[in-house]
Structure 1
Amino acid sequence: MPRRASSALATTLCATLLTGVAACGGEPANEPGDKTVMLYSGRNETLVKPILDKFTQATGIKIKARYGTTAQMAAQLAEEGERSPAEVFLSQDAGALGAVNKKGLLAGLPAEVTAKVPEAYRAKDGNWVGVTARSRALVYNPKLIAKEQLPKSVFDLADPRWAGKIAIAPTNASFQTFVTAVRVQHGEQKAKEFFTALKTNNPQIRENNIAIVEDVDAGKVPAGLVNHYYLGEIAKERGTTPEKLNAKLHFFAAGDTGAMVNVSGLGVLRRSANDPDVRTLVDYLLGPEAQQYFTQQTFEYPLASGAPAPSYVPPLAELKAPAIDLNDLESLEQSIALIKETGLTP
């Protein structure tokens, strides 16, 4: 399953661990003296395993990994609590890290670790840190929408003139986090009004962001809400560059919720706060090899080690993200409930 969309491969919270450890038990992750780190990953195996393999080759430390969606891994950690064999949680978004941290499961990271990442992209209490960043954007086909017709704000998509012209993926984690951002920045009432209006505009529903970008590129739908990196992924699969695709990116106006910047990130479970192998993994993911990998292979913004941004997007420092504290994006359950209430999902 070569795409991020395949992160839904874990259909139950109690799936068998890929390494053979019982999924729902509290057995120790490692044998005494075993140079192994137990990782719960909300990021797709195909996406992160190559860099984890490079880590093992470089350090001799093995990774026992359990993969699922970020929501599934966060829920499993909450269910297992202190019994969890997990040592590191690698999350697709800040909201899940915040939710796990709220349960008191994450340890404080050393200041020299968190200092590698800009303050906006790490926990206030130092209990999680961003690894990569991604911006929300509107992907559009200029053959179907003229540049001068593009919306300045994501809230413009509630206008009837956009009826049937926008594709969304309401069951996707990135869309759900966007819903949370609207709720956090503008309140529950405005969020409900906007997503109700969006539903009235008959949006075209897709399973994931990849499907949205492919259909926009093919001219099947004029535009859609996605994260920026999917253009890079599709271009790579086709052996071309993002600039040569029909689909283009439009970034919303400065401060608009549609321009939010989220992170993938990690937290260390309290039981492993002083484990030197865990620290080695954390340092590696924030180091130059891993940061360059994420830039070149997954087309995300690096947050540490000075790796450059992908060539087809503005530098991270130039993005005018809304004033949303990523630490406040933990209320995922309320966002899912709002999506259902407004009829965007059954």
Structure 2
Amino acid sequence: MYRKIFALILSLLLAVGIIGVMLWRVWGDLNAALQYLHPVYLVPAVLICVVAWFSRGWRYKVILARLSVIVPTVFATACIYLSQTVNLLVPARLGDLIRIILVKHEYDATVSQGLSSIVVERVFDIITVAFLGLISVLFVLNVPEWALSLIVIPLVLGALFFGVLLFMGRFSSENKYLGYLLTMLNEVKEASLTPSTAIILFFSSVGIWIMDTIICVSVSAMFNQEIPLAVVLLAIVAGNLVKAVPVTPGGLGTYEASLAIIFELSGVAPATATLIAVIDHLIKNLITVIGGVASIFYFGNWVVPEMMASIKRRLSDSGEEDV
């Protein structure tokens, strides 16, 4: 248990450290960059962010429906808000597991259905982001090799994953754990590989990530920067693919660093690039937290003790060895 708590503290310190180094590096130029601030562009950024979250909720509703769990869009959106809020506090995306508790408590879904819904959502997110990154590369010169690798690797892994799903249904096992895995993969296949569902999930995912990019465009406009859309898209792609590796809670620090590097390489002043990256993520995270708090009231008093118990159980796994 103590090792896991230490890892949690270390990941938080790493996130703070990365952002701290970014700001320290351009500290002398921050005041000049802030002179160009136009707060009016904050309004569309916030509005689009809220629409994007409800779009995520609608997509999650579709995924759950394919698993025979019928929920309203508001419930699905609240699930995502709350799980993402927890992800901002703990590493390794443990917040995602909160959704399993929510759909089980409110709609009697199985653990397998909860896990399968998360896998489907994450796979479509990563593949769609990588696909958009591949398109953006066609319009951006001198793309760094690390960014190309970030884009290609998820696409290859995604193709392999869907290739494995195609063979699901042909295997069975009497082993408890292997059988559970096969059941979950069959559910993932059912929820994602029918032509109509795949089309809906793909295009809704594309829309969600385009909105995420437009938020960053609005933040850029706050600093009077007309960064090409393809560059902003590439930055968002890089930031979210790096963020997918749960090194820090919610990708704090790693996301901002990825965006700032791409913007600087495109010719944006370091201080301005840093401010755009930090404020973009700050807006998205603040909306997430506000939505997460509202979701607690939506679900009721039972949800906080249940979440705390779940997180404690996760931190206490193999606790006898850790103490």
The answer to whether TM tops 0.5 is no
Structure 1 length normalisation: TM-score? 0.26
Structure 2 length normalisation: TM-score? 0.28
Relative to its length, the structure with more strand (as a share) is 1
* Larger RCO (CA under 8 A, 6+ residues apart): 2
